[in-house]
Structure 1
Amino acid sequence: MNYQIAIKRIDTVNEVEGYWSDEDLVQLLEKFNYPDGATADKSSLPELLEMAISDYETNEAAEIVLKYKFPDRLTDGQIEQIAHNMLIDKVCEEYPEIDMQGTLFHINQLLFKAYNGKFPNAKASIVHFSMTPIDGEAQKLTAENVLKLLNKGLSDRNLIKRLFENQMSQNIPFPEAEYIVWELTTTDDINYSLVTSENWINKEDITEYEFESVLEEIEDEV
């Protein structure tokens, strides 16, 4: 199907609002030895957590949050190593397991804020765009659909295009798209907002803001 693509704007942000739920904040407060989170005013939970975190050494705090988010995924040794590396590098951009990068970003930014910049400042991009079918009715698009349709408007220097050239340009499966795109929202199946790492898509990556693109049916793998 042919689509008319319009990239409206890209917002660069330090955190994605709404990622940490009230329940997350209450449970993390307990892990940071603040047991009264459940009875505290909901609006005060983020500030309380920042204060509770800052009472701990940076490495220890990172390990606590990593264990909370990845209770069965990582060994103690892996958690210790990631916590150490997070103080030096943007692990959320470099970690080889792409499906973990989004969560690592949110952890990194929670710690960055609590420690007033002791952790590197990673950034996310919120891409606002429309995808209007030229010759058919609008249908809800997946992360894979969206990235393939955006391909034509992205610079050849874009990291997604460099790492996944075939998946972006050919009608073959692109399962990694679900992890590159952290959030994809729409109210009308035409106007979308996409959240991802600035490392994956940033303002400099856009070479065309309005263009036509074709979405082909994905061929099943043999």
Structure 2
Amino acid sequence: MTEYERYLRTEELLALQKGPTERVCHDELAFQVVHQVEELWMKLALAELDRVPPLLDADRLIEAREIFQRVHVLMGLMGDQMRVLEAMSPRAYFTVRTALGRGSGQESPGFNALLACPPPLRASLKAALKRRGVKLLDLHRDPSAHPDLYGLTEAMVDFDEGFQRFRYRHLALVRRIIGGRTPSLKGAPAELLEHGVKQVFFPELWLVREALFRDFVPGPSLDGADDDPGGAH
């Protein structure tokens, strides 16, 4: 065994998929590999995001921004690799589905951990804004006043949007293979995935755009947009 194989533990890694005689169909290997790789990307993303709150608390904003930029790349990879399964026929998927038992992507540990990650990130951003004595809306009115802080918020939006794109790619794949009304293994139709696509990690970073809109087009407030989305108080 080479040093490369020992370091990456390739023997163990490549034994984690079913062997040729165990697969219920040819496409089961692609199905397993894609989902296992997704879990690895999410593990890496979570490890990176865990570093953000301490960095923000220490006002190391550039380093925190770089982490969000890396995680944004990971979100893109997660969405792009879904294309591997676009060649999977509905018949092949339903064949693999029988081997899943009651298992479902809704049980993904990485995915559920990502859904739970925003609160400490939002709290650290709010604290950073307060230390600077600037509200989020004022930051967007004059990005040049705090370019490092503004750049951080834009990197957070990139990550947020990247995760939404990943969820949309997953929804599109599900529709392509099983249709919109076919129930999942947990009994919920694929149409319910649309609700998740509309969810965001950092609502304040989206609402501030609507609030800024009223600086240029006066009129009645957009629902929720005039609420203070975070910052100094």
Instruction: Work out whether the TM-score is over 0.5.
Output: no
Higher strand proportion: 1
Structure number, greater radius of gyration: 2
Normalised by the length of structure 1, the TM-score is 0.27
